[in-house]
Structure 1
Amino acid sequence: MSLQIPKLVAGISIPDSNLAQQATELLIEHGSDFLYNHSLRTFIFASLHGERRKLIYDKELLYICSVFHDLGLTPHYSSPDKRFEVDGADAARNFLKGHGLSDQTLQLVWDAIALHTTPGIVEYKEAEAVLLNSGVALDVIGRGYEHLSDSIRKEITAYFPRTDFKKIIIPTFFEGFKHKPHTTYGNMNADICTCMIPGFKSPNFCDAILQSPWEE
């Protein structure tokens, strides 16, 4: 996959620093057209949300988070026993090490990616984490769709097409963690396993309590 990245989409400038370019190269090398388009739309949606709310955030870090947020689904970065979000977070942190960034910044990026599918928590984190989650949610389930004009939506999807996104996203995500469905426990991705694995039943917290080894 070799792509020419536009400099400006929907009024949002796409970072082209050396760090951003290196991250994009990894997405192109290890990802797919589907993940590339989803990740870039996520960044633009997140940035537009940040502008609408007048949030202060680091655009380059938000871009890195967007590029890496689903790379944990790919064979290159996928582990046998961690959530794909953690695999992506680990990959981003390892990528950023050695670039002179503070430990706090590395932790911010890790948290943003690891928590991007964890509503109820991520929206209380730093701006980059809040915005990554908002960008993902807009692209995947349309949360905040009404805040974008039809012309803006068309411009974004002209550069980064959705291409049967609704039909492709579930099997694509499942492919990334079908070898470790247990890692989806307590997470919305358990719904994907239920959809894709006949007879799959996600572990239940109430069962875990009642089946604990305590005698009383």
Structure 2
Amino acid sequence: MAISGKIIAGIKMPDSAIAVQATELLREHGSDLLYNHSLRSFLFASLNAQQNNIQCDTELLYVSAVFHDLGLTPHYRSNDKRFEVDGADAARNFLLGHGVSPQSLQLVWDAIALHTSPGIAEYKEPEVALLNYGVALDVVGKGYNLLSDTDRNEILKHFPRNELKKNMIPAFFDGFKHKPHTTFGSMNADICSCMIPNYKQLNFCDAILHSPWSE
């Protein structure tokens, strides 16, 4: 179903060439779970911007939302980087072919790379903070009470959750189970602990105490 240009919960889905091509890549390389999650996150972020009169570049926010989890997919994931960095690199490479300014490239890169970094992202540029908000609302319900029943139901009609609570943890783990060390210092280490029997997270205190320094 084409979603470009549709108005959902009062938000117009971007219909520029960049937005359409980004959506096609998400459809091609992402699962239904990632597709629905990414577009719900965009809509939640956009509603937050509308409700709080936050000015942002809607197209850049959309591309950020579309690419934010593509680093989990076989096509884009690396063997040695955090999945957020893989997604950020993919978005930057995509936008390079569209003559986007260096400032905009960095903005999208930051939005994706920092979308799992609460306590940092919300103090960055609007697009970065909004993506973090939209993702957090969809995954853990942050700001759920600020979303009207009407908007929530309309968004879910177009982009259903399909048992997200049960399916998201294994789906995300599948994207970085080959490189659990890259989750150190992030919430994704909790997913490794949940999914890998007897998994011991890297510990920063151990890293200090066992560093090669003599004292």
Interval of TM-score (by shorter of Structure 1 and Structure 2): over 0.9
Matched residues in 2 for 1:124 and 1:130: separation? 7
Q: Does 1:91 align with 2:72?
A: no
Moved over 3 A (4+): none
Q: Which moved more, 1:143-152 or 1:162-171?
A: 143-152
- Structure 2 equivalent of residue 137 of structure 1: 136
Deviation at 1:23, TM superposition (A): 0.2
Q: Which amino acid aligns with 2:82?
A: R
Q: The residue matched to 1:20 in structure 2 has which SS?
A: helix
- Structure 1 equivalent of residue 60 of structure 2: 61
Deviation at 1:98, TM superposition (A): 2.8
Q: Which amino acid aligns with 1:4?
A: A
- CA offsets 1:86-142 (integer angstroms, 9 cap, x no match): 000000000000312111110010000000001111111110000000000000000
Deviation at 1:214, TM superposition (A): 1.0
Q: Residues 1-216 of structure 1: matches in 2 within 5 Å?
A: 3-5=1-3, 7-216=6-215
- CA offsets 1:46-76 (integer angstroms, 9 cap, x no match): 0001111111100000000000000000000
Identity of aligned residues (%): 70
Matched residues in 2 for 1:22 and 1:100: separation? 14
The TM-score normalised by the length of structure 1 is 0.98
Q: Which moved more, 1:150-159 or 1:180-189?
A: 150-159
Matched residues in 2 for 1:37 and 1:212: separation? 44
Q: Which amino acid aligns with 2:3?
A: I
Deviation at 1:33, TM superposition (A): 0.8
Q: The residue matched to 1:40 in structure 2 has which SS?
A: helix
- CA offsets 1:149-184 (integer angstroms, 9 cap, x no match): 112111110100001000000000000000000000
Deviation at 1:211, TM superposition (A): 0.3
Q: Which amino acid aligns with 1:132?
A: L
Structure 1 gaps of 5+ residues are none
Q: The residue matched to 1:202 in structure 2 has which SS?
A: coil
Q: Which amino acid aligns with 2:187?
A: M
Matched residues in 2 for 1:126 and 1:52: separation? 17
Q: Which amino acid aligns with 1:31?
A: G
Matched residues in 2 for 1:105 and 1:187: separation? 25
Q: How many residues align?
A: 214
Q: State the Cα RMSD in Å.
A: 0.8
Q: The residue matched to 1:93 in structure 2 has which SS?
A: helix
Q: The residue matched to 1:167 in structure 2 has which SS?
A: helix
Q: Which amino acid aligns with 1:39?
A: S
